[in-house]
Amino acid sequence: MIVLGIETSCDETSVALLNERKEILSLLTLSQLEEHKPFGGVVPEIAARSHIEHIGDLISKTLFNAKISIEDVDAFAVTAGPGLIGGVIVGVMTAKALASVAKRPFIAVNHLEGHALTVRLTSNIEFPYLLLLVSGGHCQILEVLGVGKYKRLGTTLDDAVGEAFDKVAKMLGLNYPGGPEIEKLARLGNIYAYDFPKPLLNQKNCDFSFAGLKTAVKRTIDQTDNINKADICASFQRVVAEILCKKVENAIEIFRLNYPHSNSLVIAGGVAANLYIRERLQSVLNQYGFESYVPPVTLCTDNAAMIAWVGIERLKLGLTNELDFEPRSRWPLEEL
Ligand code: KG4
Ligand code: ZN
């Protein structure tokens, strides 16, 4: 069973071929980072145009690399939302065209399900597990109960974590994306130099808010002469880690009641690359006897292998879609 996956929901054009033995036959990803860099964030119109320009070639190259012809592909899976709608439409139209020409099933994949199930591509984890999804667009804690079966325990009320990293980096004049820049500089700073606020920390739920933290960082930067950037980065990153730890603790307590025999937390999304945050989370997990699973960084950030993998999982269960499936900019996992 071979599935071709396409991902175009944000600023990566990515195509992958995967089989049910969990072998990535080919994975090609074009990052639009340089195109968006001057704007300090992703510009939807630029993203959509760039996807159109590159998707055709990328599909040919992916097939060529894997020495596979289009007739050998058993299904075409594509991110059909949530995401920047122009880009999503490019991917969905392409996958529909391929599926109808090759007369093979079309699978509309929820991008978040891609992040949620990647860990089953890279390890032998069983359902159910707890998922902390932390990326540039998302900050959620979910119970992953099965393919298409999710329960959201909490989400961000404003910014996503990665977005907060990117905005703080911008305030400090650091490059986009800000996460890796902040992590690097934070190693040189004092994590207790500033005591930034931790919104919603004392609420015994799994919801997040980062807007207040971001504003506090901005105020500090504006009000301080000779700002020590490393201290700001280190303190900001510590506070983010403390917020994530507390909310994961709350989530574990809820999850344990529902599923006393499961003890796995998966950390996914671009922010999962942050080693400081991972270490802090690990100490919480140790307290509860939980194990952490983090897919390799290349599969944590947006890529088509995760979409192809959802394609495999869904195809095995006979879960395919009609060609009139409409792309969605908003698509909560619970609505699957
Ligand atoms: O998952 P991803 O590639 O794209 C989205 O779906 O959003 O995540 C990108 C986000 C960016 O906001 C980036 O700043 C953040 O992940 N990020 C990090 C690190 N590496 C990437 N944040 C904190 N620390 C990092 N090392
Ligand atoms: Zn993503």
Amino acid 199: pLDDT? 82
Ligand 1 pocket by Cβ (under 6 Å): 10, 135-137, 162-163, 165-166, 177-180, 183, 269-271, 273-274, 301-302
In whole angstroms, give the CA distance from residue 154 to residue 132.
10
pLDDT of residue 261: 95
DSSP H or E segment with residue 216:
helix 211-223
In a 13 Å sphere around the CA of 306, the CA atoms on its Cβ side amount to 26
Q: Distance from CA of residue 67 to its chain's centroid?
A: 29
Instruction: Measure 59 CA to ligand 1 centroid, in angstroms.
Output: 25
pLDDT of residue 85: 98
pLDDT digits (tens, 9 = 90+) for 142-155: 999 999 999 999 99
Nearest atom in ligand 1 to 161's CA: 12
Cβ(87)–Cβ(44) below 8 Å: yes
d(CA 141, CA 185): 28
Contact call for residues 115 and 327 (beta carbons, < 8 A): no
Which residue positions in the chain have pLDDT lower than 50? Answer: none
Round to whole Å and give the CA distance between 177 and 137. Answer: 12
Q: What pLDDT is attached to residue 273?
A: 92
Q: How many residues appear in the chain?
A: 336
**From the alpha carbon of 302, which atom of ligand 1 is closest?**
3
